[in-house]
Structure 1
């Protein structure tokens, strides 16, 4: 029944566009003095269930990516100060900030491609100021946690787009809103997060293994130099 209703909505939307364009042609052919040529309400890129069901969660992820971009930029600046001078960590978090910002921009473009808008959708909530001034080793743990959280957000999008339950992986009986294109987009994002998690976990474990009670500053310095390469 839901599939039939969705099909009817899609067909109705396409017919609305066709009818509107036919009316426009008739008005132009009839010499109407004042043509209304704005057909965006009837002729748009909205297709599938993205805008009606998945867009709120998708926009939530965009805000999270922008929040991380700003947070990492601040952390990068923190490590670049003369009092810290960890230029490798500065480079690492500057790159992380750029990646998250590019992710957000790419996702915004996807919203527009699917016929949506970002009007009043951006609401970036920054964390407490204490997270902007981490020590080198805990900063890797912070970024690793963020990457795992983002993986879960993308996985939630992926499950919703494929109508999968969170536990058994079966097809959900109620509230199903299949969107294959969104699932494909979320799958690519999940792969990127897996790579990011793996890289950060390796860095955190390597630096932790270099720590000794008397030489942790030297370990930080040597590791920081490696990050510059």
Structure 2
């Protein structure tokens, strides 16, 4: 019986997700037997797939008997993928902007709900806007955490910080308050557009179609309808106040807002 001389050699090279596996099984002539060729291909493909598992590699390293106490090393075992890491600060600022404006609308609602102004229709309008923006802010925080990120309530845009230092009065007349609300909603819509542009762009670090889709579903349609409603209110109120009896027209408009 002929004796086979066999050589066995494994070489594994890994750099992030790129691996090369060489497995040789030779006879006297140095040739790989036919049945082993299929086995070599299978093992090679399996090794290439395994090398792409960053979370798995972290766990293997953390569970090593000599490193069993270093479980903090599984940094890649999270829900982050795509451009969430790059866009997370922008999403945080967007959520904080929503909260700021929610409180502004709440103050405006309180102004119209007191016994002096006594405009329950305007109070209802601005309280509804406040509740809507508050819900949008909570939804944004939930989305950030769903994608593996975390919320930072101190990440506030510079223009908002400057605005808070000036402490602008929100005790406005009816026409002014609707104009203010319209400007606020437009600014929020444009901020959502900027986020969508970053997520839909060609920049690899921030490209994330899932974030773009979320913005479209949760914010853009809602902002469109709110802006249209406020624009209609401003137009109608402008026409009514230009009539012969502005006080009566304003009262009737407030009654209309209560419906």
Partner of 1:169: none
State yes or no: 1:202 paired with 2:232.
yes
Asked if structure 1 preserves the Cα contact closer than 8 Å seen for 2:17 and 2:53, the reply is no
Rounded Cα–Cα distance in structure 2 between residues aligned with 1:40 and 1:65: 34
Q: Secondary structure of 2:53's partner?
A: helix
TM-score, with structure 1 as normaliser: 0.79
Asked if structure 2 preserves the Cα contact closer than 8 Å seen for 1:161 and 1:182, the reply is yes
Query: Which of the residues 70, 78, 96 maps onto 1:63?
Result: 96
Q: CA deviation at 1:94?
A: 0.7
Asked which structure has the greater CA Rg, the reply is: 2
Partner of 1:110: 143
Counterparts of 1:140-155 in structure 2, within 5 Å, are 140-155=178-193
Higher relative contact order (CA 8 A, sep 6+): 1
Q: CA deviation at 1:122?
A: 4.3
Superposed structure 1 runs of 4+ greater than 2 Å apart: 11-16, 19-27, 34-42, 119-131, 174-177
Rounded Cα–Cα distance in structure 2 between residues aligned with 1:18 and 1:177: 25
Rounded Cα–Cα distance in structure 1 between residues aligned with 2:90 and 2:168: 28
- Considering only aligned residues, what root-mean-square deviation do their CA atoms show, in Å? 2.9
Rounded Cα–Cα distance in structure 1 between residues aligned with 2:105 and 2:230: 14
Q: Secondary structure of 2:89's partner?
A: helix
Partner of 1:167: none
Q: CA deviation at 1:108?
A: 0.7
Rounded Cα–Cα distance in structure 2 between residues aligned with 1:210 and 1:13: 71
Q: CA deviation at 1:55?
A: 1.6
State yes or no: 1:158 paired with 2:196.
yes
Asked if structure 2 preserves the Cα contact closer than 8 Å seen for 1:76 and 1:89, the reply is yes
Partner of 1:184: 213
1:129 and 1:225, CA in 2 relative to 1: closer, same or farther beyond 3 A? farther
Asked if structure 1 preserves the Cα contact closer than 8 Å seen for 2:200 and 2:209, the reply is yes
State yes or no: 1:46 paired with 2:80.
yes
Q: CA deviation at 1:176?
A: 6.4
Rounded Cα–Cα distance in structure 1 between residues aligned with 2:62 and 2:205: 37
Q: Secondary structure of 1:132's partner?
A: coil
Structure 2: state its 5+ residue gaps.
1-15, 19-48
1:75 and 1:209, CA in 2 relative to 1: closer, same or farther beyond 3 A? same
Give a deviation string over 1:102-160, Cα, whole Å, max 9, x none: 11010011111111112454436464444411111111111111111111101111111
1:119 and 1:150, CA in 2 relative to 1: closer, same or farther beyond 3 A? closer
State how many pairs are aligned: 208
Counterparts of 1:81-100 in structure 2, within 5 Å, are 81-100=114-133
Structure 1: state its 5+ residue gaps.
1-5, 164-171
1:213 and 1:203, CA in 2 relative to 1: closer, same or farther beyond 3 A? closer
Rounded Cα–Cα distance in structure 2 between residues aligned with 1:87 and 1:212: 22
